[in-house]
Structure 1
Amino acid sequence: MSTTHRPRRGDGIARSELIASTSATLISATVSMLPLLLADALVRKYDWSEATLFAGVSTGMTLSAIAAPLGIFLVGYLGLRRTILAVLLVLLATLGLSGVCTTPVQFALIWAVSGAASGCLNPLVIGSTVTASRFPSHCGAASGLFLSCALAGPLFALPLFSLLLENWGHMTVLLSASCLVIAAILIAWGLIPANSLPGEDRSHARPRLAPLFEPAKLKDLSLLLFLTSVCGVTSTGLVGSHLISICRVAGLDLSVGASVTAVMGLIALFGGLIFGVAADRFNGLRLLAAYYVFRAVLLFWLPRSSFSFEELSHFAVLYGLDWAATMPALARVALDRFGVLQIGAVMSFLAVAHHGAAGAASFLLASAGSQHFSSAFTFGSVLCLLAALLLVIRRTGALGAPSLSPCAGDTTCARQEAQSNNVNP
């Protein structure tokens, strides 16, 4: 029997890649949120068109979602190090150009490019790719770390940037953000080796789409896409976008809704880490079913609550934990079913589904008006119950037994792997 002997990368290199890639996604997520902060300040200072500026913000958000699959293909063809460095350099260039812009149209165009670039470093995509290759047995925990870092960046940096903006103007904010990007570039340059991902020198290490559309895998991919879409609708689409408005309609001050949202984001940081560890220890499908049932209960209860401080505090803590719980479990299930080579492509599709569903839900609810808040949350609760039901009635093992082989689900890759084993006994 032939045995494959491959040089094993040291744990130190794996940890260095984890540090560098999480730093890059954190900084990228922070920079992508700056236009939301700067747009209002520029409108007040220069009396510019708010519609033009926010058109650039909206376009950037849309391109950020669409660019997620591009990120995984860049990693496959250029490598992790070159991809991260290229994206960070683009972000640095957009910050520099923002400092010399003189019209709102120029800002809008630059922010659209910035959003597209940041989408290539989507934490779901980069996180799943790095963790599946380096930490396959801890994919859930490491994916939760990426998600928590992406949430932590804007949560802690934007208040500091707001302080700089109020006291020293938007140029100081741009300069500070540029320093953060430069720091991330230096970290990535120093910690990520040139050939950063295992098997990157082999042609079959690049992501393949064909195996994802085989009949058996297509059913699994369709289920994961539906689950992720439900997550997007019920998290960012309903709660993230409209919780402040719901509190306002209930007669509460704007600061109350903002505080509840901030607490929810802070709790989500810990939720990503806690439930990431749980995803590695327990059955991912059962965890997802439990998460969706719990979310359904919370969504059904909120519009019917009294909106007291105590009840809103309970909702912020419980929903914040549940918000970050689904993605680590989805990453764990995707790795077990599709393998190391396909998980990046799968998670990129899931990222597009999440952002697209969230954007559509947010727009539809905003168009419908505040009188439909209760109905929208009830509908979201029903969607969560449907997602949980699909997970429960799915046959045991329908999403595949754990398979950490990099060629899982790819017959061409498996054949090349077998030939490599025969050549290198």
Structure 2
Amino acid sequence: MQAVTHWAQRRLGAHFHYAWVAVALAFLIMLITAGTRATPSVMMVALEESLGWDRISISLALSINLALFGLVGPFAAAAMERFGLRRTVLVALFVLAVAVALSNWMQQRWQMSLLWGVLVGSATGVTAMTFGATVVNRWFKTRRGLAMGLLTASSATGQLVFLPFLASLVESSGWRPVVLSVAAAIAVAIPFVFLLLPERPAQVGLALYGEPEGTPPAPVEARRNPVALAFSVLGRAVKERDFWLLFFSFFVCGATTNGYIGTHFIAMCGDYGLDPVKGASVLAAMGALDLVGTTASGWLSDRFNNRVLLFWYYGLRGLALLYLPAAFGLGYFGLPVFAVFYGLDWIATVPPTVRLTTDVFGSRDAPIVFGWIVTGHQLGAAFSALLGGVLRANLGTYTLATMFSGVLCLLAAVMVLRINRQGRLAPAG
């Protein structure tokens, strides 16, 4: 593998840093992860009709998925320090491909909870935002915001690439061909990671992007038990008020994106007479807009006050959600307007949150601390996925859940203004 990466760097030449290859590989992995995680929302109605399951049962499995996706994050970051980035990601991709493929034969509710809840949730927790933050901190000295914005945008691109195709496949052939297609896409990524993803810039004879050539590599700490490392970093972080502000604001982020809109939007469209393909197309359009919005957010986070950026992101998202129940009845000025405003803002919160985490806790601890903050994100997502399903089943409408999500965002907009008010910068090491 090392010979391949050295050859690739030589072919790229001295003016193109291999850090951007690492970002491209991470983008591919996170794109496939996002597509995998979006798949159950496309299959929700088909599973109800094919297997006779109710929406609460499906929402419970997805809630487990979302919770584990977040809970695994800090341990994944610590495992990358202990066992290596490439090895950890390869194991996660293998587990993910096998679990998704096996779900083709599921018949019972507990099987969905095991495969899509426990296994897919855990594996995607390794290959998502915490993985992206680890790559950025290992490879970049400057342009970290832009790099993290690009990686975060992979979630949007994953929806753009996967959702319309998967929704059409569900409509024409049912849900089982969908899971086999997704499993095949995951398997395709494995050889790229094996051959082309080094652990650190020093393995290809480079300094970090933005460091002068010849800068000695930062010392790598002795490898420690990943569980102990994750909890030791958490023990230091929880003593800081900023950790809790970041944690609970990201809880709201997860509750109002992956948890609610990501899980229930296509089914919500069905309540208003839109078929799954049209609902998935709207969601994919929001994904395309978020590709622009989140990349721009990364660029902005390198240049402007990140607390203020988060204030606007959460505030505008809250207003968009409060508008959503009315949007379905306003024709051209309804759902398309919501899609534009919500899409540009979908996960634009990630680059400023990563930047604030690094500023407060330093580049050494930041990936693991961010992993714990992502836990808050996914606990919020799990809470909202289950609550949305319960309210829809009992009230026959998503309106109350939508309004609740909007109010949460407005509260988060106020909360984030108190993060790192001293403007401190933690030591890099």
The answer to whether the 8 A contact 2:65-2:117 is kept is: yes
Deviation at 1:314, TM superposition (A): 1.4
Task: Report the structure number with the largest CA radius of gyration.
Answer: 1
Aligned with 1:281: secondary structure? Answer: coil
Alignment match, 1:219: 241
Q: Deviations over 1:278-299 (max 9, x none)?
A: 1111111111112223223333
How big is the shift at 1:127? 0.8
The 3 A distance-change label for structure 1 pair 199 and 112 is farther
CA distance in 1, matches of 2:141, 2:134: 10
CA 1:364–1:33: 2 relative to 1, 3 Å: closer
CA contact (8 A) 1:32 1:114 kept: no
Q: Which amino acid aligns with 1:234?
A: T
Q: Give the TM-score taking structure 1 as reference length.
A: 0.77
Alpha-carbon distance, 1:354 to partner: 1.4
Residue among 261, 267, 271 paired with 2:283? 261
Matched, 1:363 2:368: no
**Among 82, 91, 94, the residue aligned to 1:89:** 94
Distance 1:377 1:141, change over 3 A: same
2:251 is aligned with 1:229 = yes
Tell me the residue number matched to 1:21: 26
Shift of 1:165: 5.8
**Which whole-Å CA distance do the structure 2 matches of 1:217 and 1:136 have between them?**
27
Q: Please say if residues 163 and 281 of structure 2, whose CA atoms lie closer than 8 Å, have aligned partners that are also in contact.
A: no
How far apart are 1:34 and its partner, in Å?
4.2
Check 1:391–1:194 CA distance in 2 against 1; reply closer, same or farther (3 A cut): closer
Pick closer, same or farther for the CA change 1:224–1:393 going to 2, 3 Å: closer
**In structure 2, do the counterparts of structure 1 residues 35 and 239 end up closer, same or farther at CA, with 3 Å as the change threshold?**
closer
- What is the 5 A alignment of 1:12-411? 12-34=17-39, 48-50=51-53, 56-95=61-100, 97-98=102-103, 101=105, 103-104=107-108, 109-163=114-168, 173=178, 176-193=181-198, 201-203=220-222, 209-210=231-232, 212-214=234-236, 218-243=240-265, 253-254=274-275, 258-303=280-325, 307-369=330-392, 370=395, 376-392=401-417, 396-397=421-422, 400-403=423-426, 405=428, 407=429
Q: 1:384 to 1:124 in 2, by over 3 A?
A: same
Tell me the equivalent position of 1:421.
none
Give 1:129 shift.
1.0
Work out whether residues 391 and 397 of structure 2, in 8 Å CA contact, stay in contact via their aligned partners in 1: yes
Superposed CA offset, 1:157-187 (max 9, x none): 2433455566677776555444433331111
CA drift at 1:130: 0.8
Q: Secondary structure at the match of 1:287?
A: helix
Code of the residue aligned with 1:396 in structure 2: it is R
How far the C-alpha of 1:392 sits from its partner, in A, is 3.5
Q: 1:66 to 1:177 in 2, by over 3 A?
A: same
Is the 8 Å Cα contact of residues 39 and 163 (structure 2) preserved in structure 1?
A: yes
Aligned length: 392
Aligned partner letter, 2:409:
C
SS in 2 for 1:120: helix
State the superposition RMSD in angstroms: 3.6
Aligned-pair identity in percent equals 29
In structure 2, the CA distance between the partners of 1:119 and 1:182, relative to structure 1 (3 Å rule), is closer
**Cα offset for 1:40?**
6.1
Gaps of 5+ in 1: 1-8, 408-425
Residue in structure 2 matched with residue 6 of structure 1 by the alignment: none
Deviations 1:168-223 (A, max 9, x none): 77776555444433331111111112567865842279755445544895201001
Deviation at 1:136, TM superposition (A): 3.6
SS where residue 143 of structure 2 aligns? helix
What is the one-letter code of the residue matched to 1:281? R
CA shift in 2, pair 1:219/1:18, >3 Å: same
Q: TM-score scaled by structure 2?
A: 0.77
SS at match of 1:153: helix
